[in-house]
Structure formats: C-alpha cells, structure tokens
Amino acid sequence: MQVFKFGGASVKNPEGVRNLLKIIESHPKPLVVVVSAMGKTTNALELVLYQYLEKEKGVIESYQRVVDYHMGILLDLFPEGHEAFGKLNRIFAELQKKLSTEPGMSYNFEYDQLVSYGEILSTTIIAEFLKHSGIDCEWVDIRKVLKTDNSYREARVNFELSQQNVTQSMSGSKVYLTQGFIGSDENNLTTTLGREGSDYTGALLAYFLDAESLTVWKDVPGVLNADPKWFSNTVKLDKISYTDAIELAFYGASVIHPKTIQPLKKKNISLWVKSFYEPEMEGTIIGDVTYEKLIPSFIFKMDQVLIDIYPNDLSFIAEENLHLIFKVLANYNLRVNLMQNTAVHFRVCVNNDKNIIPKVVEELKGNFHVTTSMHLELITIRYFDQATIDRVMVNKEMILEQRTRNTIQLLVKDLN
C-alpha cells in the first residue's frame, strides 16, 4: 500500500487532472490518493466566507466564480450529460443553501463548514474522471473516516476511532480517492486540520494503513533549500532526516506541513517529495537518513505583523502576564512565528490575518499597552553562516534577531 497526495497546484486545470491519471496508471494498486482543493479554490472560498459573514453583496459574484472555475474543468474532462455534472450541481446547491442561511457567531466553525467544500468539489471531479477513464476507483468521504474533536480550524485527531474507520474503509486493492485537510467531530460536523493540512491527512492515512511510503506530488523537483518565488539559484535536497524536516516545517517551509512528519516517524514510513511534472525523477526522501549537515536552507514569511506588548504599569513580564497573552492567542488560533521578551516587554511575530489581528490587539489592550508594526518579513536560515546572513540582508533593516546553534531568524523591513 502506498499513499499519494496531490496539492492544489497539481490539479488546477484539466491538464493537471489528466497528468494525475497517468501517474496513478503507472503505479501498482492498492493506492490511497489524497487531493487538495483545486488551484486557488481555498483562497476563493475564504473570500466567499468573509463576504458571507460581513453580509456583503459581492458574495454571490465570488461564489459564482468558484462555480464557473470548476464547471470549466468539468466541461473539458467529460462529455455532455455525464453524471459528474449532476453530482457537482448537487454540491453547489448545498453550498448555495449554506450561503442563504444566517451565519453563526463563530468564525472558526463557519470557516470549516464552508471552506471545506473545495476538497469535496476537487475529489468529486477527479474520482469521476478516474472511473470514466477505466480506473477501479472509490470516492471516500474522509469526514466519515477521520474523526476529530471540535477545535475548528485546528482539529485534533481521535487516533483510535480513526484507525478503526480507515482500516474498514480502505482494505481492498483499488484506488481510494479522498480529501485532505478535513474531518468531522462527534456530531458529524465538518472540521479542518489547519491551513495546508492535506499533507497531514496523507501522513495519517499512511500511519493507519502501515503504508510503504507517502509521496507528496508537487510542482517542484523535490524539497528545495528555498522557495524559488523568493530566492534565486535554489538547490534540491536529495535526502532530509526526520529531525531536519520537522525543524524546516516548524519554521514554515511551504513544501512540508508541520504536522506531517510525526506520524510517519513513529512507524519509520518514508516521505517522498516528487515532481508532478517529471514523475520519473527521484525527488527528495525524508526519513531515517544520515549526513553531517545540510546546505543552508532559507524560509521566507511575508506580510508579518510584530505585536509589542507592555504592562500598563511597567511591571515585569511575569508568568501571569504570559498566561493572559497566550490565552488570547490560543483563543484565536493565532500561531506565533517568533517571540522575544525582556523584563517589561513581550514581542510576538505572527501572520497578518486581517480578520483576527484587530480582535487580538483589541483584547490584549484590555490588560496591556499594545503597538503593532506591519508589512514585515521573517527570514529563517537553517544551517546559517555569515555569508548567508549577508545575502538576505541586502536593502533590509533589522527589526529583531534570534538565533540557536543551527538556526537564525531575522525579522526585517524592506528598505526599497
């Protein structure tokens, strides 16, 4: 048994879906295939969600763009009258019905109920295309299999119950096609595992099924030492240890979801990162491998916000202050990318979530003096040296620096 995971960029158009078919045809069965939402659908649905919650008139136009995008792919893949059209129309009818109801008070709950439609749409299209192409394929609703608590947007998996469900649902010799990113709680309400959580879904299924390996198919040749969007002359890393992979993921390497490695390491299951466009190439293996050290790896996080927090009475930042601060951050599921404290000053660097940051700041102001600095960039270098630091600091102003033996983090402002 192998588990494959295909990201949104891999299936963003009809050509990508046909390429997925070729890859599946060339590998032995059984296969479990995990698929993300197509292209930028998650972003598109997040806009729909925002307009729905704010009751903006533009929500219908934004919703219609999601419909048109998927219908365009459907029209390219299937002959007129194929049952896939009816299945997709029924899903869109559900989504439209959701948008016609009054939203609840919980942003995180509404997020999971609405944004999760991206994965349902993509897997419905792809499962129908695989069957249409002669593949023995079964569409599996992961919400009936992967059970979680009700921590919406960051749900924690019930391993025991999910193990039983997975074993019962995926025990044959066919292709099982399912969704990444989503699950459901004890009341069968949809939950999500965190942004970009489809890799984690793949790792969980590999763990539950004692798979030989998990392969994540990307639009890059493997794990690179930097994102080519932000860095020139990138180098592919042929092999990475579990430990280094966890470190890189923790600091935000976009090719690996932070939760992916742990379930694989528990059973020594290898993770392959391979090119969707060149599937015959070896890619990168992550596993129980050894080396002295890696070449420097660079991770860039753009649009960062630095939140500076001071006690109103200039007292020390003590445990009770930190408890209050982290309680607010936890209540909003706001992940800290970097933090630093002095006697009377605590600083956290976070992603600029425009829906959440103003609420977090406002709540913190109930107990502290708070200021924010916007439009910053967080650069992390694993296995750094002075030359690598100098390379990334060109035309940058240093705001905050933090380093360990192998890793340095630089919060900077662009001077251009």
255-298 pLDDT tens trace: 788 789 999 999 999 999 999 999 999 999 999 999 988 899 99
Q: What is the C-alpha to C-alpha distance for residues 166 and 410, in angstroms, rounded to an integer? A: 42
Q: Are 346 and 325 in contact (CB under 8 A)?
A: yes
What is the helix (H) or strand (E) element at residue 54, kind and residue range?
A: helix 41-54
Q: What is the C-alpha to C-alpha distance for residues 84 and 89, in angstroms, rounded to an integer? A: 9
Structural domains in the chain? 2-211 (3.40.1160.10), 297-414 (3.30.2130.10)
With residues binned 3-state (H G I as helix, E B as strand, rest as coil), the percentages for the chain, rounded to 5, are 40, 25, 35
Q: Taking 80 as the threshold, does the pLDDT of residue 3 lie above it?
A: yes
179 token code pair: 């969704």
44 token code pair: 């598109």
Confidence of residue 355 (pLDDT cuts 50, 70, 90): confident
Q: What is the C-alpha to C-alpha distance for residues 146 and 98, in angstroms, rounded to an integer? A: 23
Q: Taking 80 as the threshold, does the pLDDT of residue 314 lie above it?
A: no
Residue 302: predicted pLDDT = 94
Q: Taking 80 as the threshold, does the pLDDT of residue 33 lie above it?
A: yes
Alpha carbon distances (Å) from 176 to 118, 142, 157, 171: 18, 11, 20, 9
Helix (H), strand (E), coil (C) string for 298-329 = EEEEEEEEEEEEEECCCCCCCHHHHHHHHHHH
Percent share of the chain, pLDDT over 70: 100
Residue 389: predicted pLDDT = 96
Burial-class residue 262 by CB neighbours within 10 Å (0-12, 13-18, 19+): middle
383 token code pair: 């296995």
Q: Catalogue the long-range contacts made by 365-369 (C-beta closer than 8 Å, 24 or more residues apart).
A: 367/312, 367/321, 367/324, 368/309, 368/310, 368/311, 368/312, 368/321, 368/325, 369/309, 369/310, 369/311, 369/312
pLDDT tens-place string over residues 178-231? 999 999 999 999 999 987 789 999 999 999 999 999 999 998 899 999 988 888
Alpha carbon distances (Å) from 415 to 240, 373, 398: 35, 15, 10
What distance lies between CA 57 and its chain's CA centroid? 29
Phi then psi dihedrals of residue 304, to 5 deg? -95, 155
Q: Taking 80 as the threshold, does the pLDDT of residue 9 lie above it?
A: yes
Phi then psi dihedrals of residue 141, to 5 deg? -80, 105
Quote the longest CA-to-CA distance of the chain.
71
Terminal Cα-to-Cα distance of the chain (whole angstroms)? 51
* Closest to 300 in 3D by CA, of 374, 378, 195, 373: 378
Angle 83-125-202 from CA coordinates, rounded to 5°: 140
Burial-class residue 133 by CB neighbours within 10 Å (0-12, 13-18, 19+): middle
Eight-state DSSP code of residue 370 = E
